[in-house]
A = this chain, B = another copy of it.
């Protein structure tokens, strides 16, 4: 039986349209960032690529920084989806140790891939509390599954902190360390924390 009144969790048609348009703009912007890098992204180019007016763009994202922040958010949401329901070892199905290693590698790679985007987003690029909580709860859950005892939320944060951009930027961009060396160092840290 078709329902005549919108359900509480079903967006109104206009809102669904707006969400589709928003996703279309973000997909176009993400493609431009992949091609030319975040430093070269202009609001004009995004407007042309997405087929919307520049006014719409600013109304929706406020500023270039706001658009960069929305791109980061979108990437974070995609990453969360692959942790929750993507293929193992990042997603469910692998053992906790392999999932922890996959977590470290994917954070390392995603952060470095989005380094320019994070820098260009300025304040809009500050990771949200929700994103931080998700990653922390995931690592804490894996540490629990590995039988680690102790203050798991703090140990989880200790494993996340070296994967943040300012730290990786210093090591990879400033000091020129090889990414594989940085990953091996992180894996060694995880081994020491887990006590394996």
Q: Which residues of B contact A186 (CB under 8 A)?
A: 154, 158
Q: Is the CB of B129 within 8 A of A189?
A: no
Q: Counting CB contacts under 8 A, is A188 at the interface?
A: yes
Would A150 and B195 be within 8 Å (CB), given that A157-B171, A158-B162, A161-B162 are in contact? no
Interface residue tally for chain A (C-beta within 8 Å): 26
Q: Is the CB of A185 within 8 A of B155?
A: yes
Q: Which residues of B contact A188 (CB under 8 A)?
A: 150-151, 154-155
Q: Counting CB contacts under 8 A, is A84 at the interface?
A: no
- Closest chain B residue, CB of each to CB of A183: B154
Q: Counting CB contacts under 8 A, is A184 at the interface?
A: yes
| A182-B170 Cα distance, complex, nearest whole Å | 25
| A169-B135 Cα distance, complex, nearest whole Å | 17
| A188-B159 Cα distance, complex, nearest whole Å | 13
Known: A157-B171, A189-B193. 5 other contacts (CB 8 A): A151-B184, A154-B188, A157-B170, A158-B162, A192-B193
Residues of chain A at the chain B interface (Cβ within 8 Å): 129, 132, 150-151, 154-155, 157-158, 161-162, 164, 166-167, 170-171, 174, 181-182, 184-186, 188-189, 192-193, 195
